[in-house]
Structure 1
Amino acid sequence: MNDQSEPRSVDRKGELTEFLHTRRARLKPIDVGLPDLGRRRRVPGLRREELAQLAGVSVAYYTRLEQGNAQNVSADVLDAIARALRLTDAETHHLMHLSKPKRHSKRKAAARPQALRPALGGLLESMELVPAYVLGHRTDILAWNRLAAAVFHDFGAVPEKHRNYARLVFLDPTMRTLYADWEIKAAETASALRMYAGYCADDPELSALVGELSVKSEDFRRLWAAHEVREKAHGSKRLSHPLVGEMELSYESLKLPDDAEQTLLLFHAEPGSKSAESLRLLASWGADASHSDVVTG
């Protein structure tokens, strides 16, 4: 890939076209109850006319929509297309956001500072045995406690303008070795950026971030091109920590009620497990550079 001096823009029309195309490509006629007549297909997946038939719309209308040219498409039509494409809830929400007409006035939330309530910073620091951090839109790292820095990364050592989880996952070699299932973590991270791009494509900082990662990371380019979107509010992560070795941590991802673009992530280990003991060791050592910090813009 040729180097680029300017970051790639996130174009809502192009996003809608590529998203619908990739969702069609993953389906076969037999997946949706259509007969497979054995005819050779030039491209994988459903044809536009097959998808239009399933959704109950004309081929011309669906074609305009996939090309980003359908204006004021109704929620009922989008629901029908989502059902025909077997979209998940997260994918359906993404489709709804991409299909909204672009407003002339840019979304204010994209430009406003990502302010964190001081009380939340105090709460993070009080959780001495629970690694916790807060991500804003674009996966910017807004706050963390000492144990999160000891477990995941010395966030305080990262310049504020580069303090972004997606940037660390794709560009910092230590994160690739930390996550035992790095490919899964990378896919989840790219998906989170895709979800944000669906409702705030006009954010210039998002465009700059996507452009930087696209230029510097082949893995990001591959995952970004897949147009996968999913929401994962809880789960587990396997880590290979340089000081305490293998750990398995469960996590909960909580949207803050007064700012849905901020997410609190909490990690914990099974009581009595080796991972729980490793957390206690890391908490007791307490690195000098792992003080919590808050970005207020």
Structure 2
Amino acid sequence: MSDQSVQLLGAYLKDCRGRLDPASFGFSNARRRTPGLRREEVAQRANISATWYTWLEQGRGGAPSTEVLNRIAQSLLMTEPEREHLFMLAFGHPPEVIYRAPEGVTPRLQRLLDTLEFSPAIIKTATWDVLAWNRAAAVVFTDYSLLPVEERNILRLMFCRQGVRERQEDWESMARFVVAAFRADAIRAGAASEVSKLAEELCVLSADFARFWRDNDVRVHGEGSKRLHHPMMGLIALEYSGFAVDGRPDLGMVIYNPATAEDTDKIRVLLEGND
């Protein structure tokens, strides 16, 4: 670490420590000259030497190990972006990604989806489980609320549900792309073990999935087009864009815009019929 990086790291740790309320950790607020936790309290929570932590804040403790830095981040209740910044200061690169299966989305994210009246939109995990969707997605793709939670997975639907397969204008091309983009998303998010488990199961359930999975193809789920045959409205053409959810590397948002005014009208009819 350069001298400047050491100083910046120490200053950042001091600032993070000063923002915490000692009482919330069971420490007394009495006889404190400055706000926040004391250095020895951070060291106690991180199970490290108080002297060494003091040196670290003062810019003379040397570079900490990854394990110790993670313990310090946990002791300071750092958010994921704060932890990433901590690692960038200490090592010049973000921390190794540790995948944690998300349990849901915030009400704010759901409201964002709901504002997209005629554009189907979903939020998916790194293993392509659908966590949230809007009404347009429910009427154009499938009503995920009617599916068991464990079946709200794009790959399971694509390879294990005949109705979903029949809707795709070019199922083989779309399915091959989905497998390649899924592989890239999941590995990037550090979900290798989750990928292996799901892939093994799908290889048993679908010979097509097994064939595509063996190709080891990797693609980016960025922008593209999708054409599907809806059982009520016929062909619907969509243009999609994928977005990262800031601060949530485990989540991705995909928005499908109607390609033409005629496609918008078809989605409007579906929504009106579902009121």
TM range (shorter): 0.5 to 0.7
* Structure 1 stretches lacking a partner, 5+ long: 1-105, 288-297
How far apart in 2 are the matches of 1:271 and 1:246?
12
Higher relative contact order (CA 8 A, sep 6+): 1
How far apart in 1 are the matches of 2:217 and 2:195?
17
Counterpart selection for 1:108 from 92, 98, 110:
98
Q: Would you say the 8 A contact 1:237–1:248 is kept in 2?
A: yes
TM-superposed CA distance for 1:199, in Å, is 4.0
Q: Pairwise CA RMSD of aligned residues?
A: 2.1
Residues 201 and 219 (structure 1 numbering): CA distance in 2 closer, same or farther, change over 3 Å? Answer: farther
Q: Would you say the 8 A contact 2:122–2:255 is kept in 1?
A: yes
Which residue does the alignment assign to 1:170?
159
How far apart in 1 are the matches of 2:115 and 2:205?
37
Q: What pairs up with 1:255-274 in 2 under 5 angstroms? A: 255-272=244-261, 274=262
How far apart in 2 are the matches of 1:200 and 1:246?
34
2:248 is equivalent to residue 284 of structure 1: no
Q: Would you say the 8 A contact 1:135–1:264 is kept in 2?
A: yes
Alignment-mate amino acid for residue 230 of structure 2: H
Q: Would you say the 8 A contact 2:98–2:191 is kept in 1?
A: no
Structure number with larger C-alpha Rg: 2
How far apart in 2 are the matches of 1:248 and 1:146?
17
TM-score scaled by structure 1? 0.57
How far apart in 2 are the matches of 1:143 and 1:199?
21
How far apart in 1 are the matches of 2:111 and 2:191?
33
Counterpart selection for 2:198 from 189, 203, 209:
209
Residues 201 and 216 (structure 1 numbering): CA distance in 2 closer, same or farther, change over 3 Å? Answer: farther
Q: Would you say the 8 A contact 2:155–2:178 is kept in 1?
A: yes
Q: What pairs up with 1:218-233 in 2 under 5 angstroms? A: 218-233=207-222
How far apart in 1 are the matches of 2:210 and 2:266?
35
Counterpart selection for 2:147 from 158, 162, 171:
158
Counterpart selection for 2:123 from 134, 138, 150:
134
Q: Would you say the 8 A contact 2:222–2:242 is kept in 1?
A: yes
User: Sequence identity of aligned pairs in percent?
Assistant: 32
Number of residue equivalences: 181
Q: Would you say the 8 A contact 1:128–1:147 is kept in 2?
A: yes
Residues 113 and 219 (structure 1 numbering): CA distance in 2 closer, same or farther, change over 3 Å? Answer: same
How far apart in 1 are the matches of 2:198 and 2:141?
21
How far apart in 2 are the matches of 1:243 and 1:202?
38
Q: Would you say the 8 A contact 1:237–1:250 is kept in 2?
A: yes
SS in 2 for 1:264: strand
Which residue does the alignment assign to 2:174?
185
TM-superposed CA distance for 1:114, in Å, is 4.1
1:246-281 Cα shifts (integer Å, max 9, x gaps)? 111111111112212211111112343x21211111
